[in-house]
């Protein structure tokens, strides 16, 4: 179970970090800085911990639940870790959560089949 939790943390951290690093500068990766990477790391850390805690408590490993929880926890972590860079206060968090959910879907559907 520890190996599964560690693997799950790494996967969810990566998905959250990637979605956050793309959403913060609104897709313009030429302006990404170390500050962006640190903020994305905080979002990834919170997301990874939340998903692992949920996995340990519920012992559920379903594809669609993982995708939904990834999007939800990334949106919440993004909202908590920094103010929005565009739109209303929830806009960036929602975009980041949606991006992470799409990444989680791709990982669950395509890469895990290999």
pLDDT digits (tens, 9 = 90+) for 48-81: 999 999 988 988 778 898 899 999 999 999 999 9
- Residue 75's pLDDT is what? 96
- Residue 63's pLDDT is what? 85
pLDDT band of residue 35 (cuts 50, 70, 90) is very high
Please report the DSSP string for the chain in residue order.
-HHHHHHHHHHHHHHHHHHHHHHTTTT-GGG--HHHHHHHHHHHHHHHHHHHHHHHHH----HHHHHHHHHHHHHHHHHHHS--SSSSTTHHHHHHHHHHHHHHHHHHHTGGG-
- Residue 83's pLDDT is what? 84
> Stretch 82-106: mean pLDDT, rounded?
90
């Amino acid at each position: 179970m520890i190996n599964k939790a560690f693997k799950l943390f790494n996967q969810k951290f990566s998905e959250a970090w990637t979605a956050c690093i793309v959403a913060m500068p609104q897709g313009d990766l030429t302006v990404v800085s170390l500050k962006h990477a640190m903020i994305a790391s905080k979002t990834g850390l919170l997301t990874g911990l939340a998903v692992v805690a949920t996995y340990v408590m519920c012992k559920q490993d379903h594809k669609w639940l993982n995708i939904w929880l990834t999007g939800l926890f990334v949106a919440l972590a993004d909202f908590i870790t920094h103010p929005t860079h565009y739109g209303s206060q929830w806009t960036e968090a929602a975009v980041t959560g949606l991006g992470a959910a799409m990444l989680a879907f791709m990982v669950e559907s395509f890469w895990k089949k290999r």
